[in-house]
Amino acid sequence: MDVKLKYKAKKIKAVFFDIDDTLRVKSTEYIPPSIKNVFTQLKEKGILTGIASGRAFYGVVPEIRDLKPDYFVTINGAYVKTAKDQEVYSQPIAPDLVQAYVDWTKSVGIEYGFVGKDRAVVSKDNALIDNAIVPIYGKLPAEPDFHLTNDVYQMWTFEDIGDSLVFPEAFSNDLRLVRWHPNSSDVVLTQTSKAVGVAKVAEKEGLNSENIMVFGDELNDLEVFDYAGLGIAMGVSHPDLQARADFITKTVEEDGIQYALEEFGMIDKQLTFPQVNLDTVTGPVATIKTNHGDLIIKLFPDQAPKTVANFIGLAKEGYYDGVIFHRIIKDFMIQGGDPTGTGMGGQSIYGAEFEDEFSEELYNIRGALSMANAGPNTNGSQFFIVQNDSLAYSAKELVRGGWPQEIAAVYATEGGTPHLDRRHTVFGQLANAESYVVLDKIAAVETGFQDKPVNDVVIETIEVVD
């Protein structure tokens, strides 16, 4: 990530989130568990949180309210309140303008809807309206004259015309259309937007725009992206919004919000340590068949994708068949993967040497599968498996040295080679007790010059189940 962006992130004191396809998937209503962690961490760090949505407050689903954001910027910025129900800003549309809009919809033969502070209604009960509204507000009552007795903060069009819908010139100074659905546009005051609502919160809190970060995905986020110090677009965002964004993150399903905030250094990374929780790991499994038994290994493509792809590619083309473990040092590791058997050869599937992939979630604990190299970014085909089963350091000493508590505990009790971390890419882990028996058996063979076994330890083949 750009250093300048990380510097900007240090000034952020409030983060606002759109709802649909930002905090939750609109079509499935899925909210990733990581969202709760995001809100908890931001609050612990003293950063304000807020919702900035086209929805009215009553359209904010309970799961979002349960996150207890500090502010709700609703109805595209027309109505803003605190979590304690204190009104911060309220800007309804003038009644004569609402009536003029209703008259226009009738003249062109389209349906309409109204968003009030406490409830929303539509002009007619039909399938086209339900298609747009039900996923957001549920079934709404048909009250075409709602505007005669209630304040209206926003209106809707309902039609199948799409972007070809032409707004009357007479409305251009007062109202604007914001398309949000194939069958509907928001109709809002020209000077009203999420940016206005968020700015009212900033004013109340004594903040500047540079103190604000926003997450969004659609065209009704354009103005607030222009206003905020940092605008983060979700992975499925409208192209026009992505063009305005400071950073494009992953999708909701890919924990895009958590990912972005971790990258900006605004929340602590949630590390999984798959080597510690190996039973929960799904993905490719390699079986290294040797003349001393089988070594079954779970691979970690999420943390080391290029390295795993290299290993699997070489294995499937039979590159390792008949290759020896050319270097074995008891209480350290066993090394192989060089078809020349000298420790000086081997080539990756990429043709040239390729870069290291160091993950904060993987370490050279006992049983780790790591890449051998001749220095930084010199990976080819050679690999080793850590065999050392004891360590001179305590878990406390390792934690003081910067290792995570969970990994320090494994090192202290099971062994490994922590001095190789961030020097050699870890990309797999022995998967069962029988494999450790084979590992120790291989490590105990007699060796001679340059730690080469007196009798060859041979990789017969490597089978991979993706």
Q: CA 15 → CA 257, 268, 459, distances in Å?
A: 11, 16, 54
Residues 6+ apart with CB under 8 A from 400: none
Pull the structure tokens for residue 416: 């490994």
DSSP-derived secondary structure for 79-90: EEEETT--EEEE
Q: What is the CA radius of gyration of the chain?
A: 30
Phi-psi region of 179 (alpha: psi -120 to 50; beta: other; left: phi over 0): beta
Q: Residue 307's Cα: distance from chain center in Å? A: 22
Which of these is catalytic: 2, 18, 221, 451? 18
Among 88, 89, 158, residue whose Cα is nearest residue 120: 158
Q: How far is Cα 50 from Cα 90, in angstroms, rounded to an integer?
A: 17
Pull the structure tokens for residue 35: 């969202």
Residue with tokens 């490994």: 416
Q: How far is Cα 381 from Cα 388, in angstroms, rounded to an integer?
A: 22
- Annotated active-site residue 18? The verdict is yes
Under 8 Å between Cβ of 7 and 224: no
The residues annotated as belonging to the active site are 18
